[in-house]
Structure 1
Amino acid sequence: MQPSHRYTRLTAIALGIAGVISFGSAGATGFQIRENSVKNQGRAFAGSATGQDDASVVSNNPAAMVNLDTTTIRTDVTLIDLTAKFKGGGRSGAGTPLTGGNGGDPGDATPVPAMSIVVPLHGAFEKLTLGAQLSAPFGLKTEYDSTWVGRYNAIESEVKTIDLTLSAAVKITDRFSVGAGFVYERAEATLTNAVDFGSGICANPQTRPLCLTPNPTAAAFGPQKNDGLAKVKGDDTGIGWILGFQWKPTDALSIGYSHRSEIDHDLAGNITFTKPGNVAAVFAAGGVTTYNNGPGGAALTTPSTDTVSVTYAFNDQFRMMFDAQQTDWHSLQSVDIKRANGNLITSEKFEWDDTMMYALGAEYDFSDSFTLRGGVAKDESPTNDTHRTPRLPDNDRMLYSVGLTWNANEHLSVDAAYTRITIDSPDVDVVSSSSSTLVGKFKGHADLFGIAAQYKF
């Protein structure tokens, strides 16, 4: 015996690996994270490609590393705290109302670290500067209550990326520099969701009698009576690159541009199904292998970005910055889910659009010891109402930031920043691979708290 066609579409890979793509971070739209510099955060990320005293330019624009004239190391940590609340409901694959609560707050406070070093060379190589950075440019974590109304779409979503960026910059003239970098990226994903085995068994003509008794409430099988769990864990490494330039047409004006390439991943790992005992017995008796544990994977491409930054110093104390960044999410039109033998399980549609982020920031030096900064940004979402999922309720957002630098002495400085992110309330109207329908609206916001230290030798 075999489950119905629509029910056999359910696989942990389809729900899990595809969830990597639909899952986003609170720090930026899609699943992008820009928090590799607390200084940038304090300006709402304006001026990221023209940083004058910030070792994070290793990966933001390697050409700007020439702005540092001595070996500099930097450590940043940003705590990202997403708060979201769902209101809505839905129906199971059999048409019965979905049971469960609103899922609670899916966002945990998650630290995002970054470490950077910039080393200007001397002597015969005095125009050359080298740098390295460890950062986490994509991913975050959400987790709903295991019995919430949307459990067939998502319970836990954890995505981690770690980038090692090695960069070099050459000072062509006193006003123009170029830079390039090599990016080694590791991606890991762990995702879970519930499986409504009862609806599938009751929908199949061959197994439907198992759901029928003189007293239907006493049936051994039925919608939402035989939930299991699908879990997928996968990882991969990929290679990318970054190019940039910095031009200072005047002493007051700096213009920077950088391009970060796409990075391709073939996520590979294990699929695990946890099935109730009576469901496992039915599958064993009927020779159903659709839900057997085993290897599988899917292709994932992290998007390219293009960033233009402009910084203008009105005087020795006051500066303003502007950023425009395009993220090429169009690479995520669909994800083909395959078993290890290459058989296509399903093709998940996303149809994401390219997005723009615009940021305006300013800094004021109160003294040699203290600098105050602030900024505002508008960040577009690549998602749409047709394909948005509760892995993360993503939508267009506004960022409001303040920050402070304390120069303890000529070698050591400490940065702090706070960002409030308001998110347009996103609607969700999606069908899970269990054929359940979830309809509702999220309301949410995010808070970012950053602290950093930089030391110049």
Structure 2
Amino acid sequence: MKKVMLKTTLSLAVTLASTQIFAAGFAINEQSISGMGTGFAGRSSVADDASTIFGNPAGMSRLKREQVTGGVAMLDAHTDISHASSSPNLDGTNKGDMVPFIAVPMGYYVKPIDDQWAVGVGMYAPFGLVTDYENGFAGKYFGSKSDVKVVTLQPTVSYAFNDKVSIGFGPTINRIQGTLESDLSITQAAPDGHVRIKGDDTALGYNIGVLAQLTDSTRVGLTYHSKVKYKLEGDTKVNYGLLPLIGQSKDQKYDASLDLTTPESVDFSVTHELDDQWTLYAGSTWTRWSRLKEITVENKGVPGPLGSQFGEITEDQNWHDTWAHAIGTSYKLNKQWVLRTGLSFDQAPTNNVDRSPRIPTGDRTIFSLGAGWSPTDDLTIDVAYSYLKEEAVKVNNKNDRGQTYNAKYENWANGFGVGATYRF
């Protein structure tokens, strides 16, 4: 019984992952359209526009004009589910169309104060997903719908020690909201119930970075994104189907809470200008996903004998730290046009034992293309396209009611981005 309830009310942390996201775990990469074109290679060393507020806040020192950068990334994910089996045999479906077409917006503003100081503010989405399996999904006891959003507001300041070295810092104000749904079976003889859990919280973190111009043609950057501790509070609504043993209505609502820490990450990258036309980028990001060892959900007021089983529920996750690597290049065709491309490799933090239908992800390879068009010195319009392909992974789930779901997942996705920078 413990595993049954946990799989249905599984915490907001684990369900953030999805094939719609172009970074591993439950992170989102899409905070910059210009960066998307090079596969985010050189993220912490480029500083081409105001999106450097996220990539490396020290990069604001390179922006000599007041400017606004905004954009939206559109993500279209696909999944093939094969070799699926479930117990009891519910004759369920495995269509795989679980991720709707979604958009991820972003916006930044930077104002140089003098030759040393610059200030700015950014708003972006560091984590989030929407997944919605079809009615009758064979794995419905292990997750049917998830809708999670994290929005971050980051006021930022940078300081240039000289024309070679600068630093930047920005506190982050992070708002998380989530809704999860799954089917629930108390006994095999009773009709299925339904679980819906909602929660939200606001928490603080910070980003800090350093940027160094090593030579006239080579620049390096290092950025640290802090962990963020949340205590999500909300409610769990349960329809038990038929449950006369507790002498209450089959529809119940309980207060729910969850402690969640999103992991810190470190990004190091290099930007090297070969000549007036070609620029090379390379970078690596380490993320401390090993913080997610287990998830504990607390539901208050669960009545009768169910209280001891569903009051505090824990599930092992055993995620591991990951590395992501990217290389890219850009080519200045002329004064108006720059062309970009990149290749990224991103490890998945999940393991073969604990992977579920909510997080059916594996290691990823991402190929990217992009372009920037500057019709005037004041305006640049950026576009980007990315293709993501994951290794095939297996899901093997079982709970204490004898329910199982086993399947092979093959995921891929297309990403489209459009943005603009206007300089005052």
Structure 2 length-normalised TM: 0.94
Structure 2 residue 215 is the aligned partner of structure 1 residue 250: yes
Correspondence 1:147 to 2:136? yes
Q: 1:372 to 1:434 in 2, by over 3 A?
A: farther
Give the 3-state SS of the residue equivalent to 1:18 in structure 2.
Answer: coil
Q: Residue 71 of structure 2 contacts residue 418 of structure 2 at CA under 8 Å; is this kept in 1?
A: yes
Kindly report the root-mean-square deviation, in angstroms, between the aligned alpha carbons of the 2 structures: 1.9
- Give the direction of change, closer, same or farther, for the CA distance of 1:341–1:300 in structure 2 (3 Å limit): farther
Q: 1:8 to 1:66 in 2, by over 3 A?
A: closer
In structure 2, the residue matched to 1:16 is 9
**What is the distance in 1 between the residues matched to 2:301 and 2:68?**
46
Q: Deviations over 1:390-410 (max 9, x none)?
A: 113211010000000000101
How many pairs does the alignment contain?
Answer: 415
Q: 1:299 aligned to 2:241?
A: no
Equivalent of 1:268 in 230, 233, 237: 233
- In the alignment, the residues of structure 2 paired with residue 394 and residue 328 of structure 1 have an alpha-carbon distance, to the nearest angstrom, of 17
Q: CA deviation at 1:336?
A: 1.4
Q: CA 1:284–1:401 in structure 2 vs 1: closer, same or farther (change >3 Å)?
A: same
The worse-fitting range, judged by mean Cα deviation, of 16-25 and 166-175 is 16-25
**CA radius of gyration, larger in:** 1
Q: Structure 1 residue 179 and structure 2 residue 144: aligned?
A: no
The equivalent of 1:211 in structure 2 is none
> What's the TM-score, normalizing by structure 1?
0.87
Pick aligned residue for 1:227 from 183, 192, 209: 192
Separation of aligned partners in 2, 1:146 and 1:197: 19
- Say whether residues 1:97 and 2:89 are aligned partners: yes
Partner residue of 1:119? 111
Distance in 2, matches of 1:435 and 1:32, equals 33
Deviations along 1:161-182, one digit per CA (max 9) or x if unpaired, are 0000111110001100011110
The 4+ residue runs of structure 1 with deviation greater than 6 A are none
Distance 1:159 1:180 in 2: 27
Higher strand proportion: 2
Structure 1 unmatched runs, 5+: 1-6, 200-220
SS at match of 2:171: strand
The 1-side partners of 2:279 and 2:109 are apart by 25
Q: Percent same amino acid at aligned positions? A: 28
Q: In 2, are the aligned partners of 1:180 and 1:244 still within 8 Å (CA)?
A: yes
Q: Distance in 2 between matches of 1:272 and 1:416?
A: 43
1:228-267 Cα offsets, whole Å, 9 max, x none, are 1111011001100111100011110000001010000011
One-letter amino acid of the counterpart of residue 179, structure 1: G
By how many angstroms is 1:274 displaced? 2.2
For the structure 1 residues 405 and 151, does the alpha-carbon distance in structure 2 shift closer, same or farther, using more than 3 Å as the test? same
Cα distance in structure 2, aligned partners of 1:441 and 1:17: 21
Q: Is 1:377 aligned to 2:344, yes or no?
A: yes
Change (3 A) 1:268 1:136: same
Tell me which residue corresponds to 1:214.
Answer: none
Which structure 2 residue ranges, 5 or more long, are not aligned? 303-307
The SS at the match of 2:414 is strand
Q: Which residue of 2 aligns with 1:47?
A: 42
Which residue of 339, 349, 353 corresponds with 2:316? 349
Which residue is 1:216 aligned to? none
| Alpha-carbon separation, structure 1, partners of 2:325 and 2:85 | 37
Residue 360 of structure 1: CA displacement?
Answer: 0.1
